Amino acid sequence: MIPGPIEFEPEVLHAMGRATSSHVAPDFIESFGTCIELMREVWRSPKGQPFIVAGTGTLAMDMAAANLIEKDDRVLVISTGYFGKRYKDIIDRYGAKTTILEANVGEVVDLDAIEIELKNNAYKALTLTHVDTSTGVRVDPEPIAKLAQKYNCLSILDGVCSVAGEEIKQDDWGIDVVLTGSQKAIGVPPGLALLVASEKAIQVWENRKTSVGSYYSDWNNWLPIIKAYEERRPSYFGTPPVNLIVALETSLKIIQKEGMETRVKRHRELARAFRAGLAALKFDFLPKSNEISANTLTAAYYPEGVDGSALLAKLSKDGIILAGGLLPELKTSYFRIGHMGSVSSNDLIAVLSSLERALIELGHPVKAGEGLQAFQHELLTKNLAIV
């Protein structure tokens, strides 16, 4: 139950275990082409240009920066945690002049502050983290993307912990790049960097004054490959991870069958019920309100007087693995629970049940069943049938 790699559907793991075919075999070309088409559906970007590259979410972040940012470009980084700061580090490598607007822990950057910055300074691009995995804070991308359009600024959304779990409408919202990694809500083992670029982003890239500073990330190398596979033609730049892409096709079809609206609603309602259960056990959360709390993970402080290491160790004995804190200044004060992808109410009931027992054994003043009752009540009052 960590926020990635998550638990994967059996069909996805079965696809991973198939015999590895040639990367130019007709059946693999068909799988790759289907993935490209299905990504547009998940991203809600019928006009977008998908990229599927061997790597991680961090590589996807790097690809967007490498292709769209040149030396001395001004870039605004909107940060709600560890990964916002990471994006500044990435962009700095390409010689950009970066400004970072950093929220207090558990908060989001004020929209007025973003507009003032964009109004007073000409930025080529801004970056924002939809869900920062370090804090569990969720940002609303739509109004920020609209501001970027207003001030003729590219918008790059780090959706590593949000794509296929949170609501994203890339084309309608006017976001220029939405990126993620395979191992989170997309539901595929680690190893794929995934992103979709808008028509505007592609135009900006095509009009660069200088060469892309990263050979591997250069869209000049990847775009012909992607277009060839979508047209069901063999092509080669670097050998693709065949089994991962076959698994990606399987998972994207599962997502398509569920439907994006249903999938987002499932994540949202389970997250709210789960936090209700945790609140009943006297947990406090890093995000300051439910409105800015992620649907894909929860970041909670250890209750006062409870040894975090001892709590996680007890859960581990029950076969439940949670993630510790990631922010250096609060690393031992909180922990993180992933609930994305194929997660069900039964998974979260198991976590709450184990947490209750562990807390009682550690002397924390809670009653057995309190967390489970709050969780079930939240689900039942909304008349949900999520299994």
The pLDDT tens digits of the residues spanning 244-296 come to: 999 999 999 999 999 999 999 999 999 999 999 999 999 999 999 999 999 99
Residue 226 and residue 48 in contact, taking contact as beta carbons nearer than 8 Å? no
Please state, for a pLDDT cut of 90, what percent of the chain lies above it.
Answer: 98
The pLDDT tens digits of the residues spanning 197-216 come to: 999 999 999 999 999 999 99
Q: What is the mean pLDDT of residues 358-387?
A: 85
| Confidence (pLDDT) at 9 | 97
Residue 314 and residue 302 in contact, taking contact as beta carbons nearer than 8 Å? no
Helix, strand, coil fractions of the chain, as percent rounded to 5:
45, 15, 40
Name residue 106's amino acid.
Answer: G
Residue 197 to residue 41: CA distance in whole angstroms: 14
DSSP state of 203: H
| Confidence (pLDDT) at 383 | 56
Residue 180 to residue 195: CA distance in whole angstroms: 6
Phi/psi at 126 (nearest 5 deg)?
A: -130, 150
Residue 58 and residue 86 in contact, taking contact as beta carbons nearer than 8 Å? yes
Residues of the chain with CATH 3.90.1150.10: 260-381
CATH of domain 10-258: 3.40.640.10
Residue 225 to residue 89: CA distance in whole angstroms: 29
- Assign 185 a pLDDT band (cuts: 50, 70, 90): very high
Q: Whose structure tokens read 């569920």?
A: 258
Predicted TM-score (pTM) of this structure = 0.96
| Confidence (pLDDT) at 117 | 98
List the structure tokens of 208. 């660069």
Cα-based torsion angle of the residue sequence 253, 161, 246, 192 in order, rounded to the nearest 10 degrees: 150
Residues of the chain with CATH 3.40.640.10: 10-258
| Confidence (pLDDT) at 382 | 72
Does the pLDDT at position 385 exceed 90? no
Does the pLDDT at position 386 exceed 70? no
What number of CA atoms fall less than 13 Å from residue 144's CA on the CB side? 29
The pLDDT tens digits of the residues spanning 120-142 come to: 999 999 999 999 999 999 999 99
Name residue 177's amino acid.
Answer: V
Return the CATH fold of 260-381: Aspartate Aminotransferase, domain 1 (3.90.1150)
| Confidence (pLDDT) at 55 | 98
- Assign 387 a pLDDT band (cuts: 50, 70, 90): very low
List the structure tokens of 249. 């096709």
Does the pLDDT at position 78 exceed 80? yes
Q: What is the mean pLDDT of residues 187-195?
A: 98
The pLDDT tens digits of the residues spanning 225-241 come to: 999 999 999 999 999 99
Does the pLDDT at position 183 exceed 90? yes
Does the pLDDT at position 384 exceed 80? no
Residue 275 to residue 375: CA distance in whole angstroms: 8
